[in-house]
């Protein structure tokens, strides 16, 4: 496990927010929910979790900027550091009583993602990574899958929300990947998809139309677990493209080639 002061701050913020989410998940039918957009719901629990994470991070690192799902960007006096926070990744799962969601916190330093925490409060699984210090699930060091044959691989992917992204592109890509892999999974939380690549539960994963807070922490996790992360089209930095492709070196390369061919 990583015991740096930075990681202590991030883990503390995630665990504080998790307490409220676990309580509200048990009362999911009573949550007050508003429509934020087509197919995209935000709950009172989501907003409260964001406030808890924001306050904890601002108290511990008062000069750092933040990019928050609900509040947007908050500029800090320290322009070289920015938190990217998703207080409830997998909101739709949460609201439907599906126990698969997470709190995701990533730290960007001078344009590079350097630390990430993804916490699944229902399974009590804490994924952490810091650049140069490795990636861990609770106290276990993580490595990406060693599989090198797509026929043995399980591929994760994400689907665009109604009214956002291209379903036609997704269907082409899923058809191409399904034709050569051992199975595909759409689980519903981008941060956990990346965490699952880092620990070898998924061999590869891709998704388009993401926000920075969806993938910031997961990028660090996969890379520190020995994996490769690019945009879905193969660009070195996935953040500007709003898309991601991840896996070990061999399968990542094959995945990107499949996606390019599907859209060629």
Q: What share of the chain has pLDDT > 90, as a percent?
A: 83
Residues of the chain with CATH 3.40.190.80: 150-262
Q: Looking at residue 70, what is its pLDDT? A: 85
Per CATH, which fold does 5-141 belong to? Fructose-1,6-Bisphosphatase; Chain A, domain 1 (3.30.540)
List, in order, residues 6 or more apart from 126 with CB less than 8 Å away: 11, 14, 117, 118, 119, 120, 137, 138
| Better pLDDT: 207 or 35 | 207
Residues of the chain with CATH 3.30.540.10: 5-141
| Least confident residue range of 43-52, 57-66, 232-241 | 43-52
In terms of phi and psi (left: phi > 0; alpha: psi -120 to 50; beta: otherwise), the region of 2 is beta
Q: Is this structure's pTM higher than 0.85?
A: yes
**b/e map 119-153, b = 16+ CB within 10 Å:** bbbbeebbbbbbeebbbbbeeeebbbbebeebeeb
* 150-262 CATH pick, 3.50.50.60, 3.40.190.80, 3.30.2140.20, 3.40.50.1110: 3.40.190.80
Q: Looking at residue 39, what is its pLDDT? A: 43
């Amino acid at each position: 496990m990583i015991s740096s002061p930075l990681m202590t701050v991030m883990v503390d913020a995630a665990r504080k927010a998790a307490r409220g989410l676990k309580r509200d998940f048990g009362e999911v039918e009573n949550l007050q929910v508003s429509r934020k957009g087509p197919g995209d719901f935000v709950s009172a629990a989501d907003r409260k979790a964001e406030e808890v994470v924001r306050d904890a991070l601002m108290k511990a690192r008062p000069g750092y900027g933040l990019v928050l799902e609900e509040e947007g960007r908050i500029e800090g006096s320290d322009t070289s550091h920015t938190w990217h926070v998703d207080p409830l990744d997998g909101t739709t799962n949460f609201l439907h009583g599906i126990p698969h969601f997470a709190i995701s916190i990533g730290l960007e330093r001078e344009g590079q993602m350097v630390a990430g925490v993804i916490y699944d409060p229902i399974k009590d699984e804490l994924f952490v990574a810091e650049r140069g210090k490795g990636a861990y699930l609770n106290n276990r060091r993580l490595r990406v899958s060693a599989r090198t044959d797509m026929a043995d691989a399980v591929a994760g992917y994400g689907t665009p929300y109604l009214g956002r992204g291209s379903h036609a592109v997704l269907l082409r890509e899923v058809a191409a990947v399904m034709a050569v892999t051992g199975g595909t999974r759409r689980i519903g939380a981008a941060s956990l998809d990346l965490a699952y690549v880092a620990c070898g539960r998924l061999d590869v994963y891709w998704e388009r139309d993401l926000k920075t807070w969806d993938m910031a922490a997961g990028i660090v996790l996969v890379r520190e677990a020995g994996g490769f992360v690019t945009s879905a089209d193969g660009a070195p930095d996935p953040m500007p493209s709003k898309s991601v492709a991840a896996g070990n070196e061999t399968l990542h390369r094959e995945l990107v080639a499949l996606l390019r061919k599907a859209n060629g």
